Chains A and B, each alone.
Chain A
Amino acid sequence: GAVVSQHPSRVICKSGTSVKIECRSLDFQATTMFWYRQFPKKSLMLMATSNEGSKATYEQGVEKDKFLINHASLTLSTLTVTSAHPEDSSFYICSARDRAYEQYFGPGTRLTVT
């Protein structure tokens, strides 16, 4: 099946710093990628839809200035958590949609803000 990678897999940063997470579709082109957030033992919550060449669409309650999304190419989307705070600590997962509208998930990035 299709492969989606995320980098880094785990990151620890200090409060006030920014962190960039990359999501890549390795063997297919993805015009649309999705960014989710998952708290421990909870479900996935969609944060935003990332479209190649256009602005991301954010879900209600998600601050677009805090979670910057850039979908620069058909295989890469980035999520930057700006001025991170401890409450931003979470598991961030991206997914990429192929032409058959199936979503393939990346392995996730565990962010810890100290």
Chain B
Amino acid sequence: GQQVMQIPQYQHVQEGEDFTTYCNSSTTLSNIQWYKQRPGGHPVFLIQLVKSGEVKKQKRLTFQFGEAKKNSSLHITATQTTDVGTYFCAGSNFGNEKLTFGTGTRLTIIP
């Protein structure tokens, strides 16, 4: 079945440093979504990417969808303590509404 892996599994950064998580799917995706889950909370939708090579920005967050639509990345510039949490990518295949979640990257910030 489809597998979605993320690296790194954990990332500790100093406040103000940048952070990147990478998402790789074993199959070509129709779209990819990103979610953030705070400790003790539930996943919160951040963004959806649909087009090959698409890049979207939300303030300090930059999301990319690979040309082959099998990988994606999330980059956070100048991290803040409010960025703490686990970031999940989730992809779906063409004609299939189900989301397969990535393994997640847990971000902790050192003040």
Among B45, B97, B101, point to the contact of A44 (Cβ < 8 A). B101
A24 interfacial contact with B, CB 8 Å = no
Q: Are B43 and A44 in contact (CB under 8 A)?
A: yes
Q: Are B43 and A93 in contact (CB under 8 A)?
A: yes
Q: Please measure, in the bound complex, the distance between the C-alpha atom of A32 and the C-alpha atom of B43, giving whole angstroms.
A: 18
B28 interfacial contact with A, CB 8 Å = no
Q: Are B88 and A34 in contact (CB under 8 A)?
A: no
Q: Please measure, in the bound complex, the distance between the C-alpha atom of A17 and the C-alpha atom of B88, giving whole angstroms.
A: 33
- Chain A interface size band reads 20 to 34
Name the residue on A nearest B31 (C-beta). A101
B59 interfacial contact with A, CB 8 Å = no
B44 interfacial contact with A, CB 8 Å = yes
Name the residue on A nearest B9 (C-beta). A41
- Chain B interface size band reads 10 to 19
Query: Does more than half of chain A's interface fall in helix, strand or loop, or is it mixed?
Result: strand
Min CB distance B86 to A, Å, is 8
Q: Please measure, in the bound complex, the distance between the C-alpha atom of A107 and the C-alpha atom of B37, giving whole angstroms.
A: 11
B-side contacts of A104, CB under 8 Å: 45
Q: Please measure, in the bound complex, the distance between the C-alpha atom of A87 and the C-alpha atom of B44, giving whole angstroms.
A: 27
Q: Are A46 and B43 in contact (CB under 8 A)?
A: no
B-side contacts of A101, CB under 8 Å: 97
A-side contacts of B98, CB under 8 Å: 34, 46, 49
B interface list, Cβ under 8 A from A? 1, 33, 35, 41-45, 48, 88, 97-104, 106
Given known contacts A44-B43, A44-B101, A107-B41, what 10 new A-B pairs fall within 8 Å (CB)? Answer: A42-B104, A44-B88, A46-B98, A46-B99, A101-B97, A102-B45, A103-B45, A105-B43, A105-B45, A108-B41
A interface list, Cβ under 8 A from B? 1, 32, 34, 36, 41-46, 49, 60, 93, 97, 101-108
